[in-house]
Amino acid sequence: MKFIEEFNGLIKMLRFFVRTKNFSYIDRIGNALTYEPVEVAIKDALRDFQSIHNSAKIEDGKKVIYDKETNKPIYLPSIPSSEEVEAFLKKAKEDISYARKLAIFALTIPQKGGEE
C-alpha cells in the first residue's frame, strides 16, 4: 500500500506509543477535525520519541526500552525523517482524512516493537 510505504516511519513511531500504552498522540491525530491539532500532536510525539530514543539502551545494535509491567523489551524504530514528516503534514493540511488514516494504520499494523 502506497500510504504505508510513504509514511512508514510515522506509522512505526506511533505504533511504538501504542505498544507502550500511550494512546494520546493517536487519539489527538485520529480525532482531529482540522489541521492544527494534527501538526501539534505530530510535533509533540516527535519530541517525546526523540527524548525516549536518546535515553534508550542499545542492545545488539538496537535501541530498546523495557515494559514497566512485564519487563519485556520494546525495540524502538528509527526516528521518522524530516522529509517524511513534511510530506505527511502537507497531505494532512490538504485532506484531514490523512490524519485518521495514519492513526488507523498505527493501531492496526502488526509490528515487532519497531524491529526493522
pLDDT tens digits, one per residue of 26-59: 999 999 999 999 999 999 999 999 999 999 999 9
Q: Is residue 114 part of a domain?
A: no
- Give me the number of domains the chain comprises: 1
Does 51 fall in a domain?
yes
Site of grid cell 494534527 = 38
Percent of the chain with pLDDT over 90: 90
For residues 97 and 80, give the distance between their C-alpha atoms in angstroms, rounded to a whole number. Answer: 20
67 pLDDT above the threshold of 70: yes
116 found inside a domain? no
34 domain residue, yes or no: yes
The residue range of the domain holding 27 is 1-108
What pLDDT was estimated at residue 115? Answer: 42
CATH number for position 65: 1.20.120.1610
Is residue 114 scored above 50 in pLDDT? no
Within a domain: residue 48?
A: yes
Averaged pLDDT for residues 94-113? 87
Compute φ and ψ for 75, nearest 5 degrees: -85, 140
pLDDT for res 27: 98
- Give a yes or no: residue 102 inside a domain: yes
What is the pLDDT, as a whole number, of residue 5? 94
Residue 113 forms part of a structural domain: no
Residue 36 lies in a domain: yes
User: What is the model's pLDDT at position 112?
Assistant: 54
- All residues at 6 or more sequence positions from 22 whose CB lies less than 8 Å from its CB, including other chains: none
Q: What is the pLDDT of residue 1?
A: 75
Cα–Cα dist 68/99, whole Å: 29
Give the model confidence (pLDDT) of 83-92 as tens digits.
999 999 999 9
Query: If pLDDT is split at 50, 70 and 90, which confidence band does 110 have?
Result: low
